[in-house]
Amino acid sequence: MLTAVPPVELPEIGAASGAASLAWLLFVLPALGALVLFVTGRRANAWGHWLGVATVLASFAIGLAIFFETLGLSPEQRTRELHLFDWMSVGSFTVDFGVRLDPLSLTFVLLITGVGSLIHIYSVGYMAPHAGGDGDDDHAEPGGDSSRRRFFAQLNLFVAAMLVLVLGNNFVLLYLGWEGVGLASYLLIGFYQDRPSAATAAKKAFLMNRVGDVGLAIAIFLLWLELGTVQYSEVFERIGEVGAPTLVAITVMLLLGACGKSGQFPLQAWLPDAMEGPTPVSALIHAATMVTAGVYLIARSGPIYNLTETGRLVVTLVGVVTLLIGAIIGCAYDDIKKVLAYSTVSQIGYMFLAVGLGPAGYALGIFHLLTHGFFKAGLFLGAGSVMHAMNDDVDMRRYGGLARHMPITFVTFGLGYLALIGFPLLSGYFSKDAIIEAAFGQEGWQGWVYGGAATLAAGLTAFYMTRLVLMTFFGEKRWQNLKSADGHDYHPHESPVTMTAPMIVLAIGSVGAGAILSGIGLTEWLAPSLGELRESEHGVLPHAVIPWLVVGISALGVLIAYLVVGRRPTPVERPERVSLPVRAARRDLYANAINETFIARPGTWLSRALVFVDNRGVDGVVNGTAALLGGSSGRLRRFQTGFVRSYALSMLGGSVLVIAAMLAVRFA
Amino acid sequence: MTPTYYLLLSALLFSIGAVGVLVRRNAIVVFMCIELMLNAVNLTLVTFARINGQLDGQVMAFFVMVVAAAEVVVGLAIIMSIFRTRRTASVDDANLLKY
């Protein structure tokens, strides 16, 4: 269905009033929280984490108030803007600091502050200084344990930046938030500063994000160059004036930005490494919110993508490639967080596939984003709880039989797992199947390729997630005869209530979100922002068949996982003699090797060549001149012999020459 | 008596002085040769003044004599000082100031 899309009606923009006029507090509160926690320093160690929780909860309350106020308006009035101040004004270039409140941004506000609040609460327990977990004595800083305060300051900074990203009413404000979440992500990945691997992972994430950010910046430059504005409302109104080649360039550059932030092919390699950060960070930033910013960007830029099928085709292909890559690699890892990370990569691939389908998929992408936000955050928190119990070990081969020791974690994790693999009537079933249906709804080869890849990946998802659950919660208790890296025995235990309560809430969300959101009509709610959902009638498969197919393939994945992992004992040592595909998947399908070979090494060569040119060429000219002068002076000074009579001779000779020359001129 | 003879005499004196400066080692002798050259120039100046019937050349000659007198004072003092420290007046031996 990649033909020209009829233009989507742009909504009228009203002025914000009532609760909406407080929208600026949404991001100002967490920003203030971050500021206070950064500035007050050690004095805030005792109460800082509660301040962090309070600011995010307050934001959530304001977000709910605005949401319910907006629900009371008719759909045409639901897009409102709140002008705060003129941010920049240079010549004809002006940027407002304005808030855009519409169904799309409000949906994100609720997701960010809602899941954010839960994860803040969880972190109070997880990062507690002396209760084990990641915040234990190993990471104590000199001068008291202020790591938890620092953690909450950075987490608040993240929430503030993410809210600026989704609330801004122009691309430059989006870019501000975009860079802000990048900074917070960098700080939090590298949170355990004493681990070299964390520092490296943080740098890697920052650099790969930079590649994407350059793309986003170029897209914004192009928009300004063509239209002279960066305001969403004006850009979307006049985007039709832009010529086709420029339009494709803009969409591809936007996509590059989205790929960087969302860990999509070809910039996916940073996301699994980002798991070096504390687990709540993985849950909030690298699963539920920040990495979905790319999906937000593309959905928000829908009016631009609607005009170019090439742009949408590229988005879809990136999504298809990524969801397969993520699912394949997820099958091979033994690190519980990395499996979940590749699962995230794969699920965001589904969302990219959906938003790449244009008006047939924007709302579905956002739908999956929301349900994924619930169950993946829940899964990460569950993984954090397991690590908490297992002395921070992440190797699933050392787990086993944990279900009885941590029942709450097991049940909540299990519900998240069922939601992710699309167990009927849980949330993943609604959102993922809708995407697969829309993918099969395309005509010709596209329907088969998109739908086939998405179905295959659904089966792989079922496989790797079942493998993860079996290795962690069932089977032999392999940890009984082992000691952890720091030489302690394992004493698995259930986590404190600050950790289990958010897990329970998220598990309820994982179960119910899909049914509730599709029941109350998420797509109609989003229509003022994303346009009406257009279902295609010319799909390659009839609608009735697809859910059965997907559930069947997923069940097959579960069955294979049970036969391969569940029925056999799992060796504690990782088998090295494995088949070629497994070896490739263990090495991230050679993504790092490819980056190394094609980007990093040519870059090194280029720098070396430049250094050579600089040393030998530029410096060569300067140094050569100096050496020439120095050398010739060295020779010339040999004339200064100290013999007065030779000086006299040269003076005489010189005088004779001058006179001879004068005479020659005179008489010639 | 033509002015040419004066000029020839002056050229002869100048050449003798110049050769003396170049070939002699004793600083006093070199000094006297320089005086010889200066006076050869003076003779030239006076001769041309006479030929042209103007006083400019004669005034110049007086200037040269004054400068030469001053130069003798300074020069002889330097030569004395060199002789006292090195016990020789050879210009070839006073060769410390070199590359």
**Cα A162–chain centre separation:** 11
The pLDDT of A47-55, averaged and rounded, is 89
Contact call for B97 and A642, based on CB within 8 A:
yes
**3-class DSSP state for residue A94?**
strand
Answer with the residue of higher pLDDT: A294 or A513. A294
Q: What crossing angle do the helices spanning A336-356 and A309-330 adopt, rounded to 10°? A: 160
Ordered structural domains, chain B, with CATH: 25-89 (1.10.287.3510)
CA-nearest residue to A636 within chain B is: B99
For residues B90-94, average pLDDT: 85
pLDDT tens digit sequence for A183-192: 999 999 999 8
Phi then psi for residue A574, to 5 deg, are -70, 125
Q: What pLDDT was estimated at residue A139?
A: 42
Q: What is the pLDDT of residue A6?
A: 52
Q: Give the per-residue pLDDT at A91.
A: 82
Structure-token match 């890559």, residue found: A325
Strand (E) or helix (H) holding A82: strand A80-90
Residue A48: pLDDT band by 50, 70, 90 thresholds? confident
Q: Mind telling me how many Å the CA of A620 is from chain B's nearest CA?
A: 29
Interface of A with B (CB under 8 A): 637-638, 640-645, 648-649, 652
CB contact under 8 A, B99 and A652: no
Query: What does residue A86 show for φ and ψ, rounded to 5 degrees?
Result: -80, 120
Which amino acid is present at A242?
A: V
Residues 6+ apart with CB under 8 A from A588: A269, A272, A329
Q: What is the pLDDT of residue A4?
A: 47
- Residue ranges of alpha helices (H) inside A21-81 are 23-40, 48-71
Lowest mean pLDDT among A44-53, A138-147, A448-457, A632-641: A138-147
- Angstroms from B54 CA to nearest CA on chain A: 25
The pLDDT value given to residue A5: 52
Interchain CB distance below 8 Å, A652 and B91 = no
Cβ of residue B1 closer than 8 Å to a chain A Cβ: no
**A433, A422 in Cβ contact below 8 A?**
yes
* Residue B96 touches partner A, C-beta closer than 8 Å: yes
Quote the pLDDT of residue A2: 42
Q: Nearest residue of A to residue B19 by CA position?
A: A649
Q: How far is CA A136 from the centre of its chain?
A: 28
Closest alpha carbon within chain B to A633: B99
Contact between chains at A644 and B22 (C-beta distance less than 8 A): no
* pLDDT tens, residue by residue, A472-510: 888 888 888 777 777 778 888 888 888 889 899 989 988
Q: What is the pLDDT of residues A332-383, one digit of tens each?
A: 888 889 999 999 999 999 999 999 988 878 888 999 999 999 899 999 999 9
Q: Which residues of A touch B97 (CB under 8 A)?
A: 642
Is the ipTM of this structure higher than 0.85? yes
Q: Are B96 and A642 in contact (CB under 8 A)?
A: yes
- Count the residues in chain B: 99
User: pLDDT tens, B53-77?
Assistant: 999 999 999 999 999 999 999 999 9
Q: Tell me if A637 and B99 make a contact (CB, 8 A cut-off).
A: yes
Distance CA A383, CA A389 (A): 10
Determine whether the interchain pair A641/B91 forms a contact, defined as Cβ–Cβ distance below 8 Å. Answer: no
In chain B, which among 10-39 make CB contacts under 8 A with chain A?
A: 18, 21-23, 25, 30
Is the Cβ pair B98, A642 closer than 8 Å? Answer: yes
Chain B closest-CA separation from residue A643 CA (Å): 6
State the pLDDT confidence band at B6, using cuts at 50, 70 and 90: very high
> How many whole angstroms separate alpha carbon A250 and alpha carbon A243?
11
Q: Which residue of B has its CA nearest to A646?
A: B22
Nearest CA in chain B to A637: B99
Percent of chain A predicted with pLDDT > 90: 35
Tokens of A87: 């941010």
pLDDT for A228 equals: 86
Report CB contact under 8 Å: A641, B98. Answer: yes
What's the gap in Å between the CA of A624 and the closest CA on chain B? 24
Distance between B21 CA and the closest CA of chain A, angstroms: 7
pLDDT of residue A136: 42
Question: Which residues on chain A are in Cβ contact (under 8 Å) with B94?
Answer: 644
Question: Taking the CB of residue A13, how many other CB atoms lie within 10 A of it?
Answer: 16
Which of B21, B95, B98 lies nearest to residue A648, judging by beta carbons? B21
Please give the interface size between A and B, counted as residue pairs whose CB atoms are below 8 Å apart. Answer: 31
Give B30's contacts in chain A (Cβ within 8 Å): 644
Closest CA–CA distance from residue B37 to any residue of chain A (Å)? 12
Asked if B22's CB is within 8 angstroms of A642's CB, the reply is no
Given a cut of 80, whether residue A137 has pLDDT beyond it is: no
Residue B62 confidence (pLDDT): 94
A554, A231 in Cβ contact below 8 A? no
Q: CA-to-CA distance for A577 and A586, rounded, in angstroms?
A: 12
Name the band, by pLDDT with cuts 50, 70 and 90, for residue A315. very high
| pLDDT for A144 | 43
CB contact under 8 A, B99 and A641: yes
Is pLDDT of A3 > 80?
A: no
Chain B partners of A641 at a C-beta cutoff of 8 Å? 95, 98-99
- The residue in chain A having the minimum alpha-carbon distance to the alpha carbon of residue B18 is A652
Between chains, do B22 and A645 touch, taking CB under 8 Å as contact?
yes
Instruction: Give the three-state DSSP class for A483.
Output: strand
pLDDT (tens digit per residue) in A59-75? 999 999 999 888 888 88
Output the pLDDT for position A475.
82
Average pLDDT, chain A: 86
Percent of chain A with pLDDT over 70: 96
Residue A492, sorted as left (phi over 0), alpha (psi -120 to 50) or beta, turns out to be beta
Do the chains contact at A652 and B95, CB–CB below 8 Å? no
Does the pLDDT value for residue A130 go beyond 60? no
| Sequence-ordered list of residues with C-beta below 8 angstroms from that of A501, at least 6 positions apart, any chain | A121
Query: Measured between CB atoms, which of A637, A638, A643 is closest to B92?
Result: A643
Enumerate the residues of chain B whose CB falls inside 8 A of the CB of residue A642. 95-99
Quote the minimal CA–CA distance from A636 to chain B in Å: 10
